[in-house]
A and B are shown apart, each in its own frame.
Chain A
Amino acid sequence: MSLSIGKRILLGFVAASLIVAALGAYALRQIGSVRDMTDLIVTRDVGVLRQLDDLGNVARNMGLVRRNAVIAVLTQGQGNSASPSTRQDDFLGSWRQNVAELERLLNTIASEVKEYQSTALSAERVAAWNRLGSVFTETGEAFRLVRSASEQQLRAVDARDIATVETRNDEVNRLHDGLLRSIANARTALDGVIAAGQHSVSEIYRNSLLSVAITVAASILLSILVTALISRAVVRPLEDVMRFVAQIGAGDLTGRLNRTGNDEIGRLGDTLNGMVAGLSDLARTNRAATADLNAAAAEIRASAQEQAASVEEQFAAVQETAATVDEITHSGAQISKRATEVIATAQAAAQTARSGLRAATDTAKAMESIREQGEAVAGNIVALSEKTQAIGEIIVTVNDISERTHLLALNAAIEAAAAGESGRSFAVVASEMKLLADQAKGATAQVRGILGEIQRGINASVMLTEEAVKRAAAGKNRTDSTVRTIEEMAARVEEGVQTFQQIVASTNQQQLGIEQVMGALQNIRQASQQTAAGTREVETASANLTELAQGLMALAERYRL
């Protein structure tokens, strides 16, 4: 059976619906037949009943007319015979009219009874109608007897045959009563017909009830059959699938569902096979991941312990940092104090720089005057150098004189030696002269040396003076630059004062900031304590995680791959 479960269920539903629809149609048809039957019975029976009433009335009227005629005749016979004929004519006429009416009714009812008898719905009704027909036949016989007797009586009335009338009157009355009884019997028979109709209707109702009940039972049976078929087609494969799923639930991922096909179960089997394959992969992955998780949990535990240690270190470091920040606070206060002192010092330095500026300006002027003085000194030294040259010339002259004297002394000594003994004293003079000449020469040599030294000194002095002049000029330039430098320095010192004021302000702000830092460090300390607690919790959690990972590994071992 390759129908899908949806189609099967739809088929069963359609079958049940068809059964219910057939049942409903059948019940409607039975209800309709009951209604038709009731209508028919009511129409016929009520029509016949009304005609029987008319028949009764007409028969009664006929009796009344006859009695009135008899009464009239009897009244005339006793003496009062005013215009009897017309009245007798009227009695006979109306009586005949009634008779004709009665006869017509009798014929009508008889024909209807016969018709109804032929078209009766049930045998009971046929029997009832037949009984009514026989009763009616008796009624017709009674009518005919009544008619003939009444006609004779009425003729006797016409004939004013009071005796006949009176004799016949009892018979006619008896016959008339029989007619009326017969009509009453007809009515009774009609009641039987009605009862037979009611009985027939109830019979139909019972038949319908029975047939509907049978049909319902049959539909129930058919539904059970359809359900069983659906169960066969749906539940058993589902049970296979459930067994397979239970096997999977027990952890056996080795099996595969063999049921395949185009129906839902087949697709479900394919899907379950895919799911089992995916679960196998998942379990494999899960097993590997659980192993990794176990290792990672161990690492987490180790790192949590390390973190606990580092948090302890951090806590100690935070303590040290707090101490350091406290020291920084003190040093910041000292910085502020020192900066204030520095500001005072810098203001003093600015004052000093201004005085230094004045001093440097004076120095520049002094340098200028030094340069002028140096130039004057150079001029004087040049003049001195000229004088020393003149002295040198004089020295040359003296030297020449001493040289001549030297030679003169030598010649004198030579002459004295040549003169022999007589020249001895002259030799003494000559030696004295030579001595003087030598001393003069030595003195001139010394003077010349001194003069040379003086000349060198003068030259050096000239050069030094020129150097001094240059240096004085350079010193003036430098002093000018010094002036500018001092001005800049004064400006810098002013800036420095401002800077230090800013430093003081900044230091105050820094103190505030450091107080905030202290608060933050307090928070950090609390946070590190919380972190330590959290780390211990992490350690505990990692231990739990390790246990969980081992549990997971045990769980993963459940799956047979």
Chain B
Amino acid sequence: MKIGLTAGADPKARTAALLDARAAALAGRAAGAEQAVETTAYLVCACGAERYGLPLAAVAGVTPERPCTGLPGAPPALRGITAVAGVIVSVLDLAACLGLDRDGDESGHVVHLRAQEPPIALAVDRVLGIARIEPGLARSVNEPESLGRGPLSGYAPPGSDRTGDIREGFSLIDVPTLLTRHTT
């Protein structure tokens, strides 16, 4: 956008515009940090048109999706297994786990979950970024299951990201619930 605005200008003006934009962004971030509000970080992923947030504490890393080996007799949510850094990782399709149809392209990202045995990775369309929201938006895991309770633990409405990186609203996923549904 900024490059588009300054694409046709001379290099000096473009450099000046870039520097101004960077300075404005840094100034905005400083204003937000000064509020010093307690936030919880979520990794926001895109599955189709939906946006889901994974707790950042449960995430070990993000890699590009690679071809994985399918397992016979596996449920449809289990895409297969792959080897990452010498460890065999089971790849679950997040969209299939949530009951959504997913397009078959292999250009997505894979989110590796932390502290799971066996190691599990979630295949998503794209990892958008990290959002910081107020912790009150997520319901407690220990609450008794209410009617229709699934693996989702809450919803962050649009504009709830404190960093301003993610503008859309997204659903909060309770990773243990999700995994207990699909690994047992």
| Docked-complex contact A403 and B130, CB < 8 angstroms | no
**Nearest chain A CB to B8's CB is how many angstroms away?**
11
Q: Is A413 an interface residue (CB 8 A)?
A: yes
**Nearest chain B CB to A416's CB is how many angstroms away?**
10
Given A407-B109, A411-B62, A442-B3, verify A431-B56 contact (CB < 8 Å): no
Q: Is A163 an interface residue (CB 8 A)?
A: no
Point out the residue from A407, A415, A438, A450 that lies within 8 Å of B63, measured CB to CB. A407
| Residues of B close to A403: CB separation below 8 A | 64
**Nearest chain B CB to A233's CB is how many angstroms away?**
155
| Residues of B close to A443: CB separation below 8 A | 3
Question: Whole-angstrom distance between the alpha carbons of A48 and B165 in the complex?
Answer: 220
Q: Is A228 an interface residue (CB 8 A)?
A: no
| Docked-complex contact A410 and B64, CB < 8 angstroms | no
Given A407-B109, A431-B163, verify A417-B57 contact (CB < 8 Å): yes
| Residues of B close to A10: CB separation below 8 A | none
Q: Is A516 an interface residue (CB 8 A)?
A: no
Q: Is B129 an interface residue (CB 8 A)?
A: yes
| Residues of A close to B127: CB separation below 8 A | 406-407, 410
Q: Is B41 an interface residue (CB 8 A)?
A: yes
**Nearest chain A CB to B53's CB is how many angstroms away?**
13
| Residues of A close to B109: CB separation below 8 A | 407
One digit per residue, 1 when the CB lies within 8 angstroms of any chain B CB and 0 when it does not, for chain A 427-455 equals 00001001100110011001000100000
| Chain B residues with a Cβ closer than 8 Å to the other chain, count | 23
Q: Is B158 an interface residue (CB 8 A)?
A: no
| Chain A residues with a Cβ closer than 8 Å to the other chain, count | 20
| Residues of B close to A316: CB separation below 8 A | none
Question: Whole-angstrom distance between the alpha carbons of A404 and B109 in the complex?
Answer: 11
One digit per residue, 1 when the CB lies within 8 angstroms of any chain B CB and 0 when it does not, for chain A 401-431 equals 0011011001101110110000000000001
Question: Whole-angstrom distance between the alpha carbons of A417 and B39 in the complex?
Answer: 12
| Residues of A close to B141: CB separation below 8 A | none
Point out the residue from B1, B7, B25, B59 that lies within 8 Å of A414, measured CB to CB. B59
**Nearest chain A CB to B79's CB is how many angstroms away?**
19
| Residues of A close to B2: CB separation below 8 A | 439
| Residues of A close to B62: CB separation below 8 A | 407, 410-411, 414
One digit per residue, 1 when the CB lies within 8 angstroms of any chain B CB and 0 when it does not, for chain A 377-414 equals 00000000000000000000000000110110011011
| Docked-complex contact B64 and A407, CB < 8 angstroms | yes
| Docked-complex contact A414 and B43, CB < 8 angstroms | yes
Interface residues of B in 99-139 (CB under 8 A from A): 109, 114, 127, 129-130
Point out the residue from B3, B59, B61 that lies within 8 Å of A446, measured CB to CB. B3
| Docked-complex contact B64 and A417, CB < 8 angstroms | no
Point out the residue from A414, A439, A442 that lies within 8 Å of B61, measured CB to CB. A414
| Residues of B close to A410: CB separation below 8 A | 43, 62, 127, 129-130
Chain A residue at smallest Cβ distance from B61: A411
Question: Whole-angstrom distance between the alpha carbons of A413 and B114 in the complex?
Answer: 14
One digit per residue, 1 when the CB lies within 8 angstroms of any chain A CB and 0 when it does not, for chain B 1-45 equals 111100100000000000000000100000000000000010100
Point out the residue from B4, B25, B56, B63 that lies within 8 Å of A435, measured CB to CB. B25
| Residues of A close to B63: CB separation below 8 A | 407
**Nearest chain B CB to A471's CB is how many angstroms away?**
31
Question: Whole-angstrom distance between the alpha carbons of A443 and B165 in the complex?
Answer: 17
**Nearest chain B CB to A286's CB is how many angstroms away?**
120
Q: Is B84 an interface residue (CB 8 A)?
A: no
Chain A residue at smallest Cβ distance from B33: A428
Chain B residue at smallest Cβ distance from A406: B127
Chain A residue at smallest Cβ distance from B109: A407
| Docked-complex contact A417 and B129, CB < 8 angstroms | no
Question: Whole-angstrom distance between the alpha carbons of A404 and B127 in the complex?
Answer: 12
Chain A residue at smallest Cβ distance from B110: A407
Given A410-B129, A411-B62, A413-B130, verify A442-B57 contact (CB < 8 Å): no
| Residues of A close to B4: CB separation below 8 A | 446
Q: Is B60 an interface residue (CB 8 A)?
A: yes
| Residues of B close to A406: CB separation below 8 A | 127
| Residues of A close to B64: CB separation below 8 A | 403-404, 407
Question: Whole-angstrom distance between the alpha carbons of A415 and B62 in the complex?
Answer: 11
List 16 additional A-B contacts (Cβ < 8 Å) besides A403-B64, A417-B57. Answer: A404-B64, A406-B127, A407-B62, A407-B63, A407-B127, A414-B56, A414-B60, A414-B62, A417-B130, A418-B60, A431-B130, A431-B163, A431-B165, A434-B165, A438-B129, A446-B7
7 smallest CB-CB distances across A and B, nearest first, come from: A443-B3, A410-B62, A417-B56, A411-B61, A446-B4, A407-B62, A413-B130
Give A residues with C-beta under 8 Å from B.
403-404, 406-407, 410-411, 413-415, 417-418, 431, 434-435, 438-439, 442-443, 446, 450
17 examples of A-B residue contacts, CB within 8 angstroms: A404-B64, A406-B127, A407-B63, A407-B109, A407-B127, A410-B129, A414-B59, A417-B56, A417-B57, A434-B129, A434-B130, A435-B25, A438-B129, A442-B3, A446-B1, A446-B3, A446-B7
